Homo-oligomer: A and B are copies of this chain.
Amino acid sequence: MLYGPYDIRFVERPDPAIIEPTDAIIRMSATCVCGSDLWPYRGLEPITEPIPMGHEYVGVVEEVGSEVRTITPGQFVVGSFFASDNTCPICRAGYQSRCVRAFPIGAEGAQAPLLRVPLADGTLVATPDSPPKDLLPSLLAASDVLGTGWFAADAAEVGPGKIVAVVGDGAVGLLAVLASKQMGAERIIAMSRHEARQNLALEFGATDIVTERGDAGVAKIKELTDGLGVHSTIEAVGTQPSMMQAIRSTRPGGHVGYVGVPHGVQLPGEELFFAEVHLMGGPAPVRRFLPELIDLIWNGKINPGKVFDLELPLDQVAEGYRAMDERRAIKALLWP
């Protein structure tokens, strides 16, 4: 629970129970701390009372409501961070995070041993079998950070022959590199000035590292692309400088996929008009990608779990936040 700025506490709460007949209760196998959790942690989203935290989760179904049809107790499941019915027109178009019945899992708090998941049939995807423990970090990553990086690459229309730039070297940015590699990008430029993150980016498929930021970063990208800019840029930060760096790094007609939650961002209309780039972003509809991502992980094709460079027992969650806030860790996994 977050009690105030920089004040995360592991406290006892009542066990969640089925409320709606479409709910499921899952026992957490692993959960983690998200880069977006740091915004309220740092006091940038003021709170008036203690709030549950966490929205990334994998676990075993304990109980389901009377109207749950496809998810059954005992299954190992991966879920997305917005519950969705997966049947409304918005879901069918692939935007489950904006389902007409969307419910943010963060409101329940996934940094906990048990979690109520609304709209279980539309939200959870079961794995083929009970996974070995060494797959848990990667399956957990699919729940948000991989799904979000994947969506960003999809939104930026990454594909064969494309030159891609990734702004942001957090876990989402790094997994956007992995996604771009899987999608067949010709060249992937990771923008990072942290050696450990650069190394992980290279391991995930980055072909170039650019350490410059802002205008100097844009100039470097132009230099690497015959002055044109890249075809696809992934923005995974959410600040004004990072959004402008992303837009200015992209060639006319190119695509910016942005997944960093914007804080205080204002896009100047006239510059955007003459930049003539496609923009698409928002909370990732992870549910769209989950079956494919689980399949890639299950078959050992990708190993996104490598972004977890810190593992802690759940009751040491506060240290996970501290380590990420101080950039001592890329991403902290929590074992219940």
Interface residues of A (CB under 8 A from B): 89-90, 93-95, 97-98, 100, 226-228, 238, 240, 243, 251-253, 258, 261-270, 272-283
Chain B residues within 8 Å of A279, by CB: 272, 278-280
Contact B273 A261 (CB under 8 A): yes
A253: B residues at CB distance < 8 A: 90, 93-95, 98
Chain A interface helix/strand/loop/mixed: mixed
7 contacts between A and B (CB under 8 A): A98-B274, A98-B276, A267-B269, A272-B281, A273-B281, A274-B283, A279-B280
* CB-defined contacts of A272 to chain B, threshold 8 Å: 262, 267, 279, 281
A266 neighbours in B (Cβ, 8 Å): 266-269
- Asked if A98 contacts B269 (CB within 8 A), the reply is no
* Known A95-B253, A228-B100: A273·B262 in contact at CB below 8 Å: yes
Roughly how many angstroms separate A266 CA and B94 CA in the complex, as a whole number?
Answer: 28
Distance, CA A300 to CA B98, complexed state (A): 43
Partner of A90, one of B95, B228, B275, B278: B228
Task: Assess the B278–A283 pair: CB atoms within 8 A.
Answer: no
Contact status of A270 and B275, CB under 8 A, knowing A90-B251, A252-B90, A253-B90: no
Given contacts A98-B276, A262-B270, A276-B282, 12 further A-B contacts (CB under 8 A): A93-B251, A93-B253, A98-B252, A100-B227, A238-B269, A252-B282, A258-B273, A262-B269, A262-B272, A263-B269, A265-B268, A277-B280
